[in-house]
């Protein structure tokens, strides 16, 4: 299911990307977080290293998302102003085109939220699996 989700997100990003690329660039690509089952049979230290590496990848991804989302919000505000101006004019086709852009931006923004949520969930699953065998309190605080 996870692969299906990322495939769908990738298709959406490719489809929406060209329309928004000139303004905000391509959406950041989320890191591939190892599955919890990938820790099976590994030494505790090796698993700990994987969790730590995944943590840094998640943080870098979230840092890349921030300016991208800020750009989408800024462009949406510009589109909203243009839409309001076009609605006041007799040319309703221009307003409809701007509304389509607004909808595309919202879908793109929502897609980044969905992708970030999936990355966070994948990391959490990895972390929980590691904490079942790890006693290092800096990685796995006491419950």
The ranges assigned to domains in the chain are: 2-131
Q: Are 104 and 15 in contact (CB under 8 A)?
A: no
Q: What integer pLDDT is reported at residue 91 of this predicted model?
A: 72
Query: What separation in angstroms does the CA of 111 have from each of 11, 13, 62, 65?
Result: 11, 8, 14, 11
pTM for the full model?
Answer: 0.75
Rounded to 5 degrees, what angle do the CA atoms 88, 90, 93 make?
100
Q: What integer pLDDT is reported at residue 143 of this predicted model?
A: 60
Nearest CA-CA partner of 110 in 2, 16, 3? 16
Nearest CA-CA partner of 7 in 105, 104, 103, 115? 115
Q: What integer pLDDT is reported at residue 21 of this predicted model?
A: 45
Q: What integer pLDDT is reported at residue 99 of this predicted model?
A: 86
Residue numbers of the chain with a pLDDT score lower than 50: 1-21
- 59's CB contacts (< 8 A; 6+ apart) are none
Rounded to 5 degrees, what angle do the CA atoms 122, 134, 127 make?
10
């Amino acid at each position: 299911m996870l692969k299906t989700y990322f495939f769908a997100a990738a298709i959406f990003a490719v489809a929406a990307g060209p329309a928004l690329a000139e303004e905000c660039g391509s959406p950041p690509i989320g890191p591939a977080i190892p599955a919890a089952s990938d820790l099976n049979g590994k030494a505790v230290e090796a698993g700990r290293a994987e969790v730590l590496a995944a943590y840094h990848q998640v943080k870098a991804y979230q840092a890349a998302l921030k300016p991208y989302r800020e750009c989408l919000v800024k462009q949406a505000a510009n589109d909203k102003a243009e839409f309001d101006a076009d609605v006041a004019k007799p040319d309703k086709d221009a307003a409809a085109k701007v509304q389509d852009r607004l909808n595309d931006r919202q879908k793109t923004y929502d897609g980044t939220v969905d992708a970030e949520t999936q990355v966070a969930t994948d990391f959490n699953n990895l972390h929980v699996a590691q904490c079942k065998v790890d006693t290092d309190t800096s990685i796995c605080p006491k419950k």
